[in-house]
Amino acid sequence: MPFRETESLLPSGSYYFSGNEAATEGALAAGCRYYAGYPITPSSEIMERIAVRLKELKGVFMQMEDEIASICSVIGAVWAGAKGMTATSGPGFSLMQEGIGYGAFTETPMVVVDIQRAGPCTGQATRVGSGDHQQAKWGSHGDYQVIALSPWSVQEMYDLTIDAFNLAEQYRVPVFLMGEESVGHLRERMDVRPKVTVFDRAKKKGTPPFGMVEEDGVPPMPCFGEGEKLLVTGSTHNDAGIRKTDDPLVHEKLVSRINNKVLNHREEIIQTESYYVDDATCLVVSYGFTARSALYAVNKLRGEGGRVGLLRLKTIWPFPDQVIRVLGKKAGKIYVPEMNRGQVAGEIMKYADCDVVPYFQTNGEIIDPRTIINQVRSLA
Amino acid sequence: MAVMDYVRERFMPHIWCPGCGHGTIMNNLVRAIESLGLKKSEIVMVTGIGCSSRISGYLDFHTLHTIHGRALAFATGVKLARPELTLIVPMGDGDALAIGGNHFLHAARRNIDITAIIMNNSIYGMTGGQFSPLSGYGKTATTAPYGNIYESFDIVQLAKAAGASFVGRTTTYHVTSMMEMIEEAIRHKGFSVVEILTQCPTYFGRKNKVGDAVDMLNYYKDHTVPIGSDKKKENPALIERGVFVREERAEYCEEYEKTVKRAEKGG
Ligand SMILES: Cc1ncc(C[n+]2csc(CCOP(=O)(O)OP(=O)(O)O)c2C)c(N)n1
Ligand code: SF4
């Protein structure tokens, strides 16, 4: 595996960063050297910081004419050998969807940071929301997989952005960092370790860039300008990248592989964290910023003797179905507080073999721990 | 290198209809590249979607066949990540100026070293003959059954106003000048635009009853004149061809390099 330890760019130690600053530093630490974006609240601090930092690092920063151009130029740069990223919020994420589909189908590694605000539409641009999770999974047409991560702290804005780059390169897939306004603008202490583990793109001369013997394999990825001939197309293509738009077998094989290469590696990809789940009779499942309130609530209820546990999802896609199934069955009841109208609760209902009680809040504010405490108490 | 070495012969026959002008453009593009002595591995051809965009499938460079209208945005990323590569972006008139119009303007404004070749057949060929922003007032298309009421863009004026530093127009009738113009456009450092009027006998020809491919080529012969011709003064409806803009101007990647140097020195 082409994982490698490198020196951190920032001197190791503690920093008092905002989430958006931390994501920027995480990207640079992971090797991002091409960024293209278009300003949008509440993500703009990422492009502002990266504009300074990428010039210092001799990378490329582009403010493009819109989000469509941003994502397309990132894909171009990635095929020319760079590690690339863009960041945006809901309206921009909507515009990027065709490009994301192109990235998924051409197996282009790339990172998209979506700092979610209160939607739909322009909504409340400066307020928090967490309503883009189903869009992250299904936003572009056709069947494909992505990886989506959900940070709950400034530390994770840094750490999970590094993970996002590594996963993107390892699986040749678009990876989304699904931050929320509240974590993008939160300022808190975080630590930079002296070493960073990065995944260098697998290159292998003479191997087909779009096919493998294994039905769930990830082919090595050559790039423009390094001697190998390369055809890249968003039309259905065979192992060599040659268009095959009327062969049912080629289409089935390619679509299966781009799905299976992610789904069959769920165990390695998915990250979750659990608290007090062993004897819990009520399991709170939470992710992102809301998990901070959920953990506070669960601690409080435990102090009162309540048998409440917390499962925190750091990975939203591929969906952590297995752990939900197991822990749900054990607890017998799942409670899901969300800053949307049940986007993840619906997913949990697909897999959990127990009662699932969702709580929606779409008012542009974070969910208060007291709300969770009261709700969980009323369930007991 | 021989001309045929640039062509992926195994992908022939091509999809273009008999009489389609796109093949003539491919022919002259390859000859221009051969004459420049460029290596296949130095060229990245980026295209969008359309009959015209299929050209990238037939040519043996690095090829990036992307999505409708966005080829210039993809090309911008490739160029900035590897400025040593030669970027050529052939586009249809719909691809370049309807869905991709904004990217076209901004690529020109950046004066980034990319050669844009607009294969202007005044119609949407691939989707079956709908009008494009270059169809022209009064023309007929499947979506303009009673006549198109839009005026066309003037690609030359648009490119010039947006900041392209090389702008030319030619036609599929004028093959020698086409080849020379493409050659010069690729050699030019900056954003180069070559508009090539090309016939789509299948849709534009049939819908507008302008005859077959030969009639359409003759039309280009009879209705275009070199820039500054006296005939144009007598008949303003004639279309000028030739190189309209040829300027040395700061190129984007070089300017970018300069800002990196400034950043190194600490601002
Ligand atoms: C987003 C999107 N919208 C619409 C289409 C359908 N489409 C494919 S090609 C095309 C227009 C082609 O016309 P033009 O660019 O002028 O090229 P030509 O085929 O005439 O060479 C359209 C509308 C598409 N592929 N993608
Ligand atoms: S439809 Fe028109 S543009 Fe397309 S290949 Fe046929 S003649 Fe050429």
Count other Cβ atoms within 10 Å, centred on residue B197. 27
Beta carbon of B61 within 6 Å of any ligand 2 atom: no
Strands in B62-65's sheet, in edge-to-edge order, are A231-233, B62-65, B43-47, B86-92, B114-120, B192-197, B166-171, B239-246, B224-226
Helix (H) or strand (E) holding B253: helix B252-264
Q: What's the CA gap between A145 and B229, in Å, rounded?
A: 59
Res A305 pLDDT > 60:
yes
Compute the average pLDDT of residues B72-92. 98
Query: Nearest to residue B53, comparing CAs of B6, B100, B5?
Result: B100
Beta carbon of B200 within 6 Å of any ligand 2 atom: yes
In this predicted structure, what is the pLDDT of residue A25? Answer: 98
Res B266 pLDDT > 80:
no
CB contact under 8 A, B67 and A84: no
Cα B84 from chain centre: 22
ipTM exceeds 0.90, yes or no? yes
In this predicted structure, what is the pLDDT of residue B265? Answer: 80
Beta carbon of B198 within 6 Å of any ligand 1 atom: no
Compute the average pLDDT of residues A170-182. 98
CB contact under 8 A, A34 and B264: no
Choose from A50, A70, A73, A228 for mutation: most chain B CBs within 10 A. A73
Mean pLDDT across chain B: 97
Start-end of CATH 3.40.50.920 domains in chain A: 271-379
* CA distance to partner chain B, nearest, from residue A80 (Å): 5
Residue A330: burial class (beta carbons within 10 Å; 0-12, 13-18, 19+)? middle
Res A380 pLDDT > 90:
no
Compute the average pLDDT of residues A221-241. 94
Residue B125 Cα to ligand 1 middle (Å): 8
Beta carbon of B203 within 6 Å of any ligand 2 atom: yes
Q: What's the CA gap between A291 and A141, in Å, rounded?
A: 31
CB contact under 8 A, B260 and A58: yes
Q: What is the pTM of this model?
A: 0.98
Res A1 pLDDT > 90:
no
- Here the tokens at position A327 are 């822990």
pLDDT > 70: what percent of chain B? 100
The single residue listed with the structure tokens 């001197």 is: A11
Q: Which residue of A has its CA nearest to B45?
A: A231
What is the number of residues in chain A? 380
CB contact under 8 A, B80 and A56: no
Compute the average pLDDT of residues B255-261. 95
Correct CATH for A271-379 of 3.40.50.2000, 3.30.70.100, 3.40.50.920, 1.10.3720.10:
3.40.50.920
Count other Cβ atoms within 10 Å, centred on residue A200. 15
Start-end of CATH 3.40.50.970 domains in chain A: 3-199
Superfamily of domain B7-264: Thiamin diphosphate (ThDP)-binding fold, Pyr/PP domains (3.40.50.970)
Query: Helix, strand, or coil here: A164?
Result: helix
Confidence category of residue A205, pLDDT binned at 50, 70, 90: confident
Confidence category of residue A157, pLDDT binned at 50, 70, 90: very high
Locate the DSSP E strands across B93-165.
114-120, 123-124, 130-131
Correct CATH for A3-199 of 1.10.357.10, 3.40.50.970, 3.40.50.300, 3.30.1340.10:
3.40.50.970
- Here the tokens at position B15 are 């999809």
Query: Nearest to residue A272, comparing CAs of A348, A172, A195?
Result: A348
Q: What's the CA gap between A202 and A168, in Å, rounded?
A: 12
Cα A104 from chain centre: 14
- Here the tokens at position A128 are 């928090």
The reply to whether omega before A42 is within 30° of 0 (cis) is: yes
Residue B30 Cα to ligand 1 middle (Å): 24
Tell me, yes or no, if A323 comes closer than 8 A to chain B by beta carbon.
no
* A96 Cβ contact partners less than 8 Å away, ≥ 6 residues apart: A67, A68, A70, A71, A86, A88, A112
The single residue listed with the structure tokens 């165990």 is: A267
Beta carbon of B16 within 6 Å of any ligand 2 atom: yes
Query: Helix, strand, or coil here: A320?
Result: coil
Beta carbon of B132 within 6 Å of any ligand 1 atom: yes
* CA distance to partner chain A, nearest, from residue B150 (Å): 26
Tell me, yes or no, if A232 comes closer than 8 A to chain B by beta carbon.
yes
Choose from A58, A70, A79 for mutation: most chain B CBs within 10 A. A79
Query: Helix, strand, or coil here: A268?
Result: helix
Mutate to test the pocket of ligand 1, among B95, B118, B122, B200 (most ligand atoms within 8 A of CB): B95
Q: What's the CA gap between A336 and A283, in Å, rounded?
A: 9
Res A287 pLDDT > 70:
yes
- Here the tokens at position A57 are 């690092």
* CA distance to partner chain B, nearest, from residue A11 (Å): 19
The amino acid at A294: A
Q: What's the CA gap between A264 and B203, in Å, rounded?
A: 47
Residue B94 Cα to ligand 1 middle (Å): 6
Q: Which of B67, B80, B263 sits opposite A102 (nearest CB)?
A: B67
Q: What is the DSSP code (8-state) at residue A182?
A: H
Confidence category of residue A158, pLDDT binned at 50, 70, 90: very high
In this predicted structure, what is the pLDDT of residue B1? Answer: 78
Query: Nearest to residue A293, comparing CAs of A312, A274, A306?
Result: A312
**Lowest mean pLDDT, pick from A83-92, A219-228, B119-128:** A219-228
Mean pLDDT across chain A: 97
**Buried/exposed code over A71-93 (b: 16+ C-beta within 10 A; e: otherwise):** bbbbbbbbbbbbbbbbbbbbbbb
In angstroms, the Cα distances linking A240 to A201, A338, B63 are 18, 44, 12
Confidence category of residue B264, pLDDT binned at 50, 70, 90: confident
CB contact under 8 A, B65 and A235: yes
* Pairing state between β A333-338 and A282-287: parallel
Res B267 pLDDT > 60:
no
Beta carbon of B202 within 6 Å of any ligand 2 atom: yes
